[in-house]
């Protein structure tokens, strides 16, 4: 995990967006990953974007996962999903994701909508603590990664946790080939 100075996320709620902190407080005891294995580290907010973060903190792109919010419409209803993919890949938005959302066209949700709907900062959106009605689509490569770094809901910190934990989040669905190599 590079040069990150991590500690249990539950002990540093000040480093998390409110919905993320709430989700960790309600972490199910029967979850396959103990809540104390969810770690957080402060970072420079100006280095929150993946490439800059990985370079500055010595984290490999193959250990870093991005959470992108996708939206599509069907019958006048906007459907959202969060896609979690490794930084070495790109979500197949208009192929796999579009089909899973059952919409004609899918695209990245506009920044203002993603921020308002998630309660998180742009560039820090994470699958932990998202609205319960959003599916969380996790590329199978992410859960095959022993430990991954993801956003914390804010730009001034990152979460480190076992990759398999992301496939066990409420509303999560592990998807083969959700992403393609970048």
- Taking the CB of residue 169, how many other CB atoms lie within 10 A of it? 21
Q: Express each pLDDT in 11-61 by its tens digit.
A: 999 999 999 999 999 998 888 899 999 999 999 999 999 999 999 999 999
pTM value?
0.96
The residue written with tokens 């000040």 in the block is 14
State the Cα–Cα distance between residues 26 and 30, nearest whole angstrom.
Answer: 11
Do 138 and 174 meet the contact criterion of CB atoms below 8 Å apart? Answer: yes
């Amino acid at each position: 995990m590079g040069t990150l100075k991590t500690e249990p996320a539950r002990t540093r709620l000040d480093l998390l967006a409110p919905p993320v902190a709430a989700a960790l407080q309600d972490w199910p005891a029967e979850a396959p990953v103990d809540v104390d294995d969810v770690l957080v580290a402060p970072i420079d907010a100006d280095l929150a974007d993946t490439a800059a973060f990985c370079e500055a903190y010595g984290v490999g792109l193959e250990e870093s996962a991005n959470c992108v919010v996708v939206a599509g419409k069907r019958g006048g209803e906007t459907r959202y999903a969060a896609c979690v993919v490794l930084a070495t890949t790109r979500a197949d938005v208009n192929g796999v994701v579009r089909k899973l959302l059952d919409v004609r066209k899918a695209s990245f949700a506009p920044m203002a909508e993603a921020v308002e709907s998630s309660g998180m900062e742009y560039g820090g959106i994470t699958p932990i603590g998202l609205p319960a009605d959003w599916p969380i689509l996790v590329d199978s490569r992410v859960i095959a990664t022993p430990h991954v770094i993801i956003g914390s809901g804010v730009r001034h910190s990152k979460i480190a946790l076992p990759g398999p934990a992301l496939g066990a989040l409420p509303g999560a669905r592990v998807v083969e080939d959700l992403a393609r190599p970048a």
